[in-house]
């Protein structure tokens, strides 16, 4: 039998037994079922090896027990060691997890990719944000997804990554509910257009999970079979304190994070106490720290380390992991940070591989672009840095400009679709493609007037079916100009969001965009900058897109209006990273452009860099 058929038969044969044993062992049907679901997902992802174990059913049961221990103990706890080869929590089947650092230690390597940073590189380079999710693709403030139905089994497997990162962000009572929202339901409760059929092995597991008598329950609120109820703890024993956010300005630790509330409006931010140099760059002293910031301004300390150039740039959809980058003389290195434990793990990758973000919907794997010879490859890696698949390839002809040998940097972008089944990718020297996460080009996404050859890179999801892309716009007004487009993934006609802009001096290049109350706001490079900064377009302006396509400058109260970046749009407000002092101090704040009022979330103390990078929830 083929592997998918073999797994399907194995699942049908063993699921009743494993689920029944887990319920009996734990007395907690809901969280036991969640652990069983994840254990079978891991078995499916490693079926080429698990299928050869003498007791594969025992491996699944032990994995489920390990997952449950992690959830029912402390968030991110390791639980007891597993006697089974390839048990949950090990990055290589049968072997200890490679590269795992002890809490408090900082690996010498970390990571690059998208994310919004106030510092480092040219403004145009900072603006290429592959992997950033737009505000319309977030989960509408419904909390971290916990796979609340059978449909979610398909979405989990769509990540096609290796083992899920250790330490899911669950409190002692188990995983938070999704309050009825599925991964296919985005902000405002709107549902994605249904796909006619799932492909390959993804469809097999979805059918298997639905077909076996309804016995396996997928998270809270799912149907349970009739008959004798599973043993449950008393209501008193299961009582949990009500989750709440910290008041504005208050600081708590990881244990204080209300994981069930984390969603749209939350931000992961990096803060530096270093004194800025005369040109606004980071000094060599000070301490860097990462905080989780709630929508009201309460903050939760995740990790800190002395100085250095390590930078935050992506956040997984399950809320549990963040990607970090550390630029080096020859290449950039990458790391994973666990938000539940503060633990950092190195990701050993080749120098010609550029990480662009997490897969969706949960962030079980990593998307990256490898550049070698005259070819770029879209690749997927598991969290330990092991190559899982080469998804697509783009060739470069000798006439194509913009090539950077050995690295992709800001010239490449890739986005996993909200359900994780497809990917969008492109480069500044080739047009975008919609590809299957299982491999193979579905269609080319053509944008008119984007050069010969065409050149487009995706920046973010504008809504569930449309990608915001930055495309070449030669001759409008200069040979190096670019333009922002809204590109439907179904291949229908793209719509320009802005006019062509950008001149050889480096001014007026598009960085990114977001929307609030249906109005688009763009960040562009400019000559507005602190007096002590070197001459040149070192500033960033936020501009409102007018109904006729014109642009008007948006002032940010409390800022110097020299280097401001729009990160996200939530309702009527914009999340902004703003320069609030010269020569280089940055704060994170909410801006209501309609009333020209702001609310500070993280402020920069006088003489300190402050917020050096920020990633809104929805970036993975």
> Which H helix or E strand runs over 116?
strand 116-117
Q: What percent of the chain has pLDDT over 90?
A: 43
> Which H helix or E strand runs over 59?
helix 56-72
* Highest mean pLDDT (candidates 47-61, 212-226, 392-406, 414-428): 414-428
DSSP letter assigned to residue 331: -
* Rounded mean pLDDT, 164-180: 28
**505-536 tens-digit pLDDT:** 999 999 999 999 999 999 999 999 998 888 78
How many CA atoms, within 13 angstroms, populate the side-chain half-sphere of residue 424?
Answer: 30
User: What is the Cα–Cα distance from 160 to 273, expressed in whole angstroms?
Assistant: 39
First to last CA, the chain: 36
CB 412 within 8 A of CB 356: yes
Peptide bond into 477 cis (omega under 30): yes
DSSP letter assigned to residue 226: S
Q: How confident is the model at residue 582 (pLDDT cuts 50, 70, 90)?
A: very high
Indicate whether 210 pLDDT > 70: no
* Residue in 382, 301, 318, 383 with CA at minimum distance from that of residue 70: 318
- Using DSSP's 3-state secondary structure scheme, residue 393 falls into strand
How many CA atoms, within 13 angstroms, populate the side-chain half-sphere of residue 323?
Answer: 37
Token output for 94:
């049968």
DSSP letter assigned to residue 312: E
Contacts for 507 with CB less than 8 Å, ≥ 6 apart = 524, 525, 526, 527, 537
Indicate whether 588 pLDDT > 80: yes
CB 305 within 8 A of CB 291: no
CB 580 within 8 A of CB 603: yes
User: What is the Cα–Cα distance from 11 to 5, expressed in whole angstroms?
Assistant: 10
Q: How confident is the model at residue 328 (pLDDT cuts 50, 70, 90)?
A: confident
pLDDT given at position 154 = 40
At residue 323, φ and ψ (nearest 5 deg) are -100, 140
User: What is the Cα–Cα distance from 351 to 41, expressed in whole angstroms?
Assistant: 31
Contacts for 167 with CB less than 8 Å, ≥ 6 apart = 70, 75, 76, 77, 320, 338, 340, 341, 343
CB 388 within 8 A of CB 382: yes
pLDDT given at position 189 = 26
* Rounded mean pLDDT, 539-565: 94
pLDDT given at position 538 = 87
Q: How confident is the model at residue 193 (pLDDT cuts 50, 70, 90)?
A: very low
Indicate whether 451 pLDDT > 60: yes
User: What is the Cα–Cα distance from 504 to 481, expressed in whole angstroms?
Assistant: 8
pLDDT given at position 496 = 96
* Residue in 324, 349, 326 with CA at minimum distance from that of residue 339: 324
Indicate the CATH number for domain 116-138+264-277+287-614.
Answer: 2.130.10.120
Q: How confident is the model at residue 141 (pLDDT cuts 50, 70, 90)?
A: very low
Q: How confident is the model at residue 439 (pLDDT cuts 50, 70, 90)?
A: confident
Bridge-partner residues for 486, per DSSP?
A: 468, 495
Indicate whether 221 pLDDT > 70: no
**246-259 tens-digit pLDDT:** 999 999 999 999 99
With 0-12 / 13-18 / 19 or more C-beta atoms within 10 angstroms meaning exposed / middle / buried, residue 21 is: middle
Lowest mean pLDDT segment, chosen from 34-38, 40-44, 123-127, 390-394: 123-127
* Rounded mean pLDDT, 161-184: 28
> Which position has the higher pLDDT, 260 or 167?
260
Q: How many CB atoms lie within 10 A of CB 223?
A: 9
* Rounded mean pLDDT, 309-320: 91
Contacts for 518 with CB less than 8 Å, ≥ 6 apart = none
User: What is the Cα–Cα distance from 503 to 486, expressed in whole angstroms?
Assistant: 22
* Rounded mean pLDDT, 104-129: 32
Peptide bond into 583 cis (omega under 30): yes
Q: How confident is the model at residue 298 (pLDDT cuts 50, 70, 90)?
A: very high
Whole-model pTM over 0.75: no
What is the average pLDDT value for the chain, to the nearest integer? 73
User: What is the Cα–Cα distance from 418 to 414, expressed in whole angstroms?
Assistant: 13
At residue 558, φ and ψ (nearest 5 deg) are 85, 0
> Which position has the higher pLDDT, 393 or 159?
393
**553-575 tens-digit pLDDT:** 999 999 999 999 999 999 999 99
Cα pseudo-dihedral 205, 208, 210, 211, rounded to 10: 170
User: What is the Cα–Cα distance from 395 to 407, expressed in whole angstroms?
Assistant: 15
Q: What percent of the chain has pLDDT over 70?
A: 69
Q: How confident is the model at residue 157 (pLDDT cuts 50, 70, 90)?
A: very low
- Using DSSP's 3-state secondary structure scheme, residue 122 falls into coil
Indicate whether 407 pLDDT > 80: no
**Could you tell me whether strands 251-252 and 299-306 are parallel, antiparallel, or unpaired per DSSP bridges?**
parallel
pLDDT given at position 53 = 78
Indicate whether 142 pLDDT > 80: no
* Rounded mean pLDDT, 9-27: 85
Structural domain spans, the chain: 3-90+146-233, 116-138+264-277+287-614
3-class SS shares of the chain: helix, strand, coil, % to 5? 15, 30, 50
CA max distance for the chain: 76
* Rounded mean pLDDT, 42-61: 82
CB 116 within 8 A of CB 565: yes
Distance of CA 408 to the CA centre of its chain: 19
């Amino acid at each position: 039998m083929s592997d998918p058929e073999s797994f399907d038969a194995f699942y049908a044969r063993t699921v009743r037994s494993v689920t029944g044993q887990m319920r009996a062992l734990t007395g907690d049907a809901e969280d036991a079922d969640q652990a069983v679901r994840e254990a079978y997902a891991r078995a499916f992802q490693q079926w080429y090896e698990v299928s050869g174990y003498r007791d594969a059913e025992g491996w699944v049961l032990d994995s489920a027990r390990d997952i449950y221990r992690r959830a029912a103990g402390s968030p991110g706890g390791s639980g007891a060691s597993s006697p089974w080869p390839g048990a949950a929590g090990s990055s290589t089947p049968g072997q200890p997890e490679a590269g795992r650092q002890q809490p408090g230690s900082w690996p010498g390597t970390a990571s690059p990719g998208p994310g919004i940073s106030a510092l480092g590189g040219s403004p145009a380079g900072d603006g290429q944000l592959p992997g950033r999710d737009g505000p319309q693709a977030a989960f509408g403030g419904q909390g971290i997804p916990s796979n609340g139905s059978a449909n979610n089994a398909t979405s989990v497997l769509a990540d096609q990554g290796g083992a899920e990162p250790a330490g899911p962000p669950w409190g002692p009572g188990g995983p938070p509910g999704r309050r009825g929202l599925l991964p296919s339901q985005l902000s405002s409760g709107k549902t994605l257009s249904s796909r006619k059929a799932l492909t390959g092995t993804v469809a097999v597991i979805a059918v298997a999970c639905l077909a076996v008598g309804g016995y396996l329950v997928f998270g809270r609120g799912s149907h349970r079979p009739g008959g004798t109820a599973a043993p449950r703890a008393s209501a008193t024993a299961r009582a949990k304190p009500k989750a709440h956010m910290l008041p504005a300005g208050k600081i708590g630790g990881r244990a204080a994070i209300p994981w069930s509330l984390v969603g749209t409006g939350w931000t992961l931010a990096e803060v530096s106490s270093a004194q800025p140099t005369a040109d606004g760059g980071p000094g060599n002293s000070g301490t860097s720290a990462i905080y989780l910031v709630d929508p009201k301004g309460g903050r939760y300390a995740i990790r800190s380390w002395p100085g250095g150039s390590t930078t935050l740039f992506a956040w997984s959809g399950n809320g549990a992991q963040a990607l970090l980058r550390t630029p080096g003389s020859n290449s950039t290195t990458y790391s994973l940070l666990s938000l539940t434990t503060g633990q950092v793990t190195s990701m050993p990758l080749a120098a010609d591989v550029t990480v662009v973000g997490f897969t969706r919907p949960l962030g079980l794997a990593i998307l990256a672009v490898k550049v070698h010879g005259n070819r770029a490859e879209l690749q997927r890696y598991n969290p330990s840095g092991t190559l899982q698949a080469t998804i697509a390839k783009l060739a470069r002809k000798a006439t194509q400009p913009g090539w950077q040998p050995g690295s992709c940097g800001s010239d490449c972008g890739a986005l996993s679709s909200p359900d994780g089944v497809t990917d969008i990718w492109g480069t500044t020297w080739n047009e975008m493609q919609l590809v299957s996460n299982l491999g193979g080009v579905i269609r080319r996404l053509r944008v008119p007037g984007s050069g010969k050859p065409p050149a487009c890179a995706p920046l973010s999801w504008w809504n569930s079916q449309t990608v915001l892309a930055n495309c070449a716009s030669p001759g409008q007004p200069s040979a190096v100009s670019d333009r922002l487009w809204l590109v439907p993934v179904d291949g229908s006609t793209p719509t320009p969001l802005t006019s062509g802009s950008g001149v050889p001096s480096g001014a007026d290049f598009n960085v990114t965009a977001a929307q609030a109350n249906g109005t688009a706001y763009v960040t562009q490079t400019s000559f507005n900058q602190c007096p002590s900064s070197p001459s040149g377009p070192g500033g960033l302006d936020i501009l409102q897109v007018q109904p006729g396509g014109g642009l008007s400058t948006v002032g940010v109260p409390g800022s110097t209006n020299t280097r401001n970046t729009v990160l996200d749009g939530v309702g009527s407000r914009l999340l902004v990273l703003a320069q609030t002092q010269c020569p280089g101090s940055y704060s994170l704040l909410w801006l209501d452009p309609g009333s020209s009022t702001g609310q500070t979330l993280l402020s920069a103390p006088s003489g300190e860099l402050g917020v050096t990078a920020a990633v809104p929830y929805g970036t993975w």
